[in-house]
Structure 1
Amino acid sequence: MSAIIEMRESMTTEDAEKKELVREMLKKQGIEFILTKFVDIHGVPKVKQVPVDCFDDVTESGAGFAGAAVWGMGLGPEGHDLMARTDLDTYCQLPWIPNVAIASCDLYVDDEPWFYCPRTNLKRMMGVLAEKGFALNCGFEPEHFLVERNEQGELTPWDPLKIDNLAKPCYDFKGMCQSMNYLQDIIRYGNQMGFGIYQSDHEDANGQYEINFDWTNGLHAADRLIRFRMMAGQVAGKYGAIATFMAKPFDDKTGSGAHLHFHLADAESGENLFPLRPGETDWKGLGLSKTAIHYIGGLLKHIKAITAIASPNINCYRRIQSGEFVYSSTSGYTWTPSFASYGDNNRTHLFRCPGPNRFEDRSPSGMVNPYLLLAAQIAAGLDGIENEIDPGDAIVGKNVWDMSIDKRRELGMIMLPQNLLEAVEALEADEVVRSGLGPIGDEYVRLKKAEWGEFMRHVTPWEVDRYLTVL
């Protein structure tokens, strides 16, 4: 008992010292206000702005929120307050509003951790991972569009010089030049916040861009993606544009993803566990350890349920259509997997292995809630490791997109769900992935089924054009 008390006192002392360091940092930076930030079930950031004089309050008791006013918090109007307590490791100055600092928060109700909070739930799952001796390191690559509305209210790519009109605009110099100031602001501000942005580019669609981040642990990678979206929206407005992470804002252009690079590391040493171990046989010919292969096996086994999280709304499924139906984009490719495969450094796979140090998941939508995605993947990946799930042979040197649908099925590839309802029903039936979401799982299924029902009650212009006078 005395050892436990000593440990708690030591942790309290450590937190107190950290708190004073943060307080001093805020003072030196001239911070006047703090944004206490958490996300709802959809990954939408929610904040309160508090004066820096309330620093003690938001670190100890938290900023108060009405839980029923936020999607997916498991509280009705009679519920007790959600208290958002700041994580001392996440404070940073907002470079574009330098008198403001932002901090990621964990939610509490009646002084107990509230596991409807996506961030709190991810911390739970990372704790489960650590108990097994693992840590998750990853980095997102957020694609997004800069758009504007014309005088008729129609959505168009942001193109002030009217030069971003190539059929294959990816990496185009002229297209990028007109957005260079925006991208430089993003890189400068992001790196001031510790993102480790190492490149940016014009992506495959007109008006589309991508940013690449350094590796970090899973929790901070999710924090970083949310902050990036917040920043992009603010910076785009400076140039008269709207930054959108909508998965498919244009029916004839490539959609936006949030590609995820990841590996497992040893929880104590930090050593990457995906490369082949000394003396270990190269089982699948990719230079990967059995830990890596079994982790991918778990992800592939549970991919339909994970898709409900990776592609969280109706529009996302415009991006991952299977090819069994007529589909095209102006560049010729969707760049999005519709079948679940894994293999070498080949962008036609869902799980691409650029090298033996990591995998890239190419399926997540630009609108993904990263906390929920990582929690779901941890549950599925651990299932793969613990049950030694074999994902089958790696597909090497082949273009999956050029294969017939029958050939893909013959090779054991699972088709991803083709609409939100199909994905949510898969999630509802998958106990492993649901375990990674905790109580959020039931709330998520309920809200997404309601979203599907609302969508099905709407008549689209396409339907009117197609069917109004067909008979």
Structure 2
Amino acid sequence: MADFIKNLPPAAVTYLEGKRLDEVECIISDLPGIARGKAVPASKFARQDYFHLPDSIFYQTITGDWGEAAGDEGFTEKDMILKPDMSTATAAPWTGDWTLQIIHDAYDRHDKPVEFSPRNVLKRVVQLYHDKGWEPVVAPEMEFFLVARNLDPAQEIKPMIGRSGRPAAARQAYSMTAVDEFGPVIDDIYDFAEAQGFEIDGITQEGGAGQLEINLLHGDPVKLADEVFYFKRLIREAAMRHECYATFMAKPIEDEPGSAMHIHHSVLDAKTGKNIFSGENGEETAEFKHYIAGLQNHMPAALAVIAPYVNSYRRYVKDHAAPINLEWGYDNRTTGIRVPLSGAASRRVENRLAGMDCNPYLAIAASLACGYLGLLEKSEPKTEFKGDAYEGDGDIPRVLGAALDLFDEATQLHDVLGPEFARVFGIVKRAEYDEFLQVISPWEREHLLLNV
């Protein structure tokens, strides 16, 4: 890899023009979506084709504890072989020196992809589409909050102070004045994104206090998941420069809307490049309805993947800008599955259930898996919902424990995502849920201590 600098993506080449590369961050996503890896001098990276990390990084809960998911061999922490995907090389423009980040893929000692590595899970699902002659296309939307620095977990999270010196206001969706309040942070987000070669389709103010949304252009699922993975770090670093935090919690502030990662889906015929959701005359095809049905039928079992924490389920509350069911409708933002206004070539299905706290690789993989099963089953969706779906009954799990029960039983979904991934994910999330259940909340102390 001695000549790797000559073959970097264009944005990385531009970033390093006239500079000396100091360091390379070799990173991989764990189950929660945290970047794990090693930082090495550029000269050392040039001499290596791979590096090692123990497979135990995929057995960790969000708190740093461990799920007993090591399998028959026991907890030996055997090394994985991590190989760089040089197409992902990008700047780390917030660092003090000239640094690149490069995403790696995980392989076992027999050079087979590690099945529970999130990027490999998504690659597996995309390959299943390819095997059928289909090309999946996605476009994620990222919602997040900019909040005041919070050094005490016992204190409530509060909106950040904007340029005006006042806390960010709620219920100002699409307000340009509200966006201007965070101008310095947004400027750094744009600058970092440009240095990393990412194209932002737009930034808008959402309904929550200090809540923003970034839209990305549609494209290859793995590439877009890489970008979301990178963007989470990028946005956090931009916020830290301005004495605030960026949080991707699904529900960080009481009485405010939650943060979603809406996922738009379409599927192309690999030979013709045409959208299989539209016919020759622009009409909806059977495949379009099958895809919607797949989301309706299989998303309850996949919910533990796209809503992976106890906090995730605080977002699914009536009239708080998050779906509570899997109804579908045309241009209806109250349904869990929305068909946006579009021409025939760009006909697509929007999954509005995923929270922004998800691992982007796993959430996109799970959503694609549900649609894939619908295409194979040729099932029909329920009748289009018209009206306010918030007034309807909820038909998704309300707590993580119930979602995990459905996930554990979903053998069809496991076959698509990978049985070994399903095994490890279920064990780790159960361990995490058990940890949470040991915590006594302020609500319990306030209302139960002297009253029961």
Shift of 1:308: 0.9
2:26 equivalent in structure 1: 36
1:342–1:351 CA contact under 8 A, matched in 2: yes
Shift of 1:90: 1.1
Structure 1 residues 18 and 239: alpha-carbon distance in aligned structure 2, compared to 1, 3 A threshold: closer
For 1:377 and 1:177, the matched residues in 2 are separated by: 34
For 1:420 and 1:151, the matched residues in 2 are separated by: 27
For 1:23 and 1:368, the matched residues in 2 are separated by: 27
Shift of 1:387: 1.5
Give the SS at the match of 1:312. coil
Identity %: 27
Structure 1 residues 155 and 382: alpha-carbon distance in aligned structure 2, compared to 1, 3 A threshold: closer
Alignment equivalent of 1:230, drawn from 208, 228, 233: 233
Shift of 1:364: 0.5
Aligned pairs for 1:170-249 (under 5 A) are 170-249=173-252
For 2:91 and 2:169, the matched residues in 1 are separated by: 38
Alignment equivalent of 1:377, drawn from 363, 367, 381: 367
2:384 equivalent in structure 1: 394
TM-score of the aligned structures, taking structure 2 as reference length: 0.88
2:51 equivalent in structure 1: 63
1:445 equivalent in structure 2: 426
Deviations 1:54-84 (CA, angstroms, capped at 9, x unpaired): 34455x3x12212224436955652321222
For 2:375 and 2:259, the matched residues in 1 are separated by: 31
Alignment equivalent of 1:256, drawn from 223, 242, 259: 259
Shift of 1:193: 2.3
1:379–1:435 CA contact under 8 A, matched in 2: no
Shift of 1:367: 0.8
Deviations 1:23-77 (CA, angstroms, capped at 9, x unpaired): 996564632211112111111111311222234455x3x1221222443695565
Q: Which has the higher contact order (CA 8 A, sep 6+)?
A: 2
The answer to which of 309-318 and 164-173 deviates more is: 164-173
Q: Which amino acid aligns with 1:228?
A: F
For 1:367 and 1:83, the matched residues in 2 are separated by: 28
Where does structure 1 lack aligned partners over 5 or more consecutive residues? 1-14, 283-287, 324-332, 406-413
2:93 equivalent in structure 1: 95
Structure 1 residues 293 and 192: alpha-carbon distance in aligned structure 2, compared to 1, 3 A threshold: farther
Q: Which amino acid aligns with 1:138?
A: V
1:309 equivalent in structure 2: 305
For 2:34 and 2:77, the matched residues in 1 are separated by: 21
2:279 equivalent in structure 1: 277
For 2:5 and 2:136, the matched residues in 1 are separated by: 26
Structure 1 residues 18 and 149: alpha-carbon distance in aligned structure 2, compared to 1, 3 A threshold: closer
Shift of 1:203: 1.4
1:358 aligned onto 2:348: yes
Deviations 1:198-247 (CA, angstroms, capped at 9, x unpaired): 21122111111111111120001111111000101111100001111011
For 1:167 and 1:95, the matched residues in 2 are separated by: 31
For 2:7 and 2:151, the matched residues in 1 are separated by: 51
Structure 1 residues 191 and 358: alpha-carbon distance in aligned structure 2, compared to 1, 3 A threshold: farther
2:148–2:159 CA contact under 8 A, matched in 1: yes
Deviations 1:172-215 (CA, angstroms, capped at 9, x unpaired): 34432221121122123223423220211221111111111111
2:9–2:87 CA contact under 8 A, matched in 1: no
2:120 equivalent in structure 1: 120
TM-score of the aligned structures, taking structure 1 as reference length: 0.84
Give the SS at the match of 1:147. strand
1:80–1:109 CA contact under 8 A, matched in 2: no
Alignment equivalent of 2:160, drawn from 158, 169, 172: 158
Structure 1 residues 267 and 243: alpha-carbon distance in aligned structure 2, compared to 1, 3 A threshold: same
Aligned-pair Cα RMSD in Å: 2.5
Structure 1 residues 470 and 452: alpha-carbon distance in aligned structure 2, compared to 1, 3 A threshold: same
Shift of 1:20: 4.9
Shift of 1:393: 1.9
Give the SS at the match of 1:247. coil
Give the SS at the match of 2:262. strand
1:3 equivalent in structure 2: none
2:173–2:207 CA contact under 8 A, matched in 1: yes
Q: Which amino acid aligns with 2:28?
A: F
For 1:54 and 1:20, the matched residues in 2 are separated by: 16
Give the SS at the match of 1:139. strand
1:144 equivalent in structure 2: 144
1:354–1:360 CA contact under 8 A, matched in 2: yes
Deviations 1:389-427 (CA, angstroms, capped at 9, x unpaired): 10122224x2212x343xxxxxxxx61110001111111
1:19–1:88 CA contact under 8 A, matched in 2: no
For 1:400 and 1:212, the matched residues in 2 are separated by: 24
For 1:223 and 1:51, the matched residues in 2 are separated by: 23
Where does structure 2 lack aligned partners over 5 or more consecutive residues? 61-66
Give the SS at the match of 2:28. strand
For 2:180 and 2:451, the matched residues in 1 are separated by: 47
Structure 1 residues 404 and 290: alpha-carbon distance in aligned structure 2, compared to 1, 3 A threshold: closer
1:141–1:213 CA contact under 8 A, matched in 2: yes
Q: Which amino acid aligns with 2:114?
A: W
Structure 1 residues 420 and 23: alpha-carbon distance in aligned structure 2, compared to 1, 3 A threshold: closer
Give the SS at the match of 1:464. helix
1:424 aligned onto 2:404: yes
2:323 equivalent in structure 1: 337
Shift of 1:22: 2.5
Shift of 1:268: 3.7
Structure 1 residues 176 and 379: alpha-carbon distance in aligned structure 2, compared to 1, 3 A threshold: closer
Structure 1 residues 55 and 179: alpha-carbon distance in aligned structure 2, compared to 1, 3 A threshold: same
Give the SS at the match of 1:138. strand
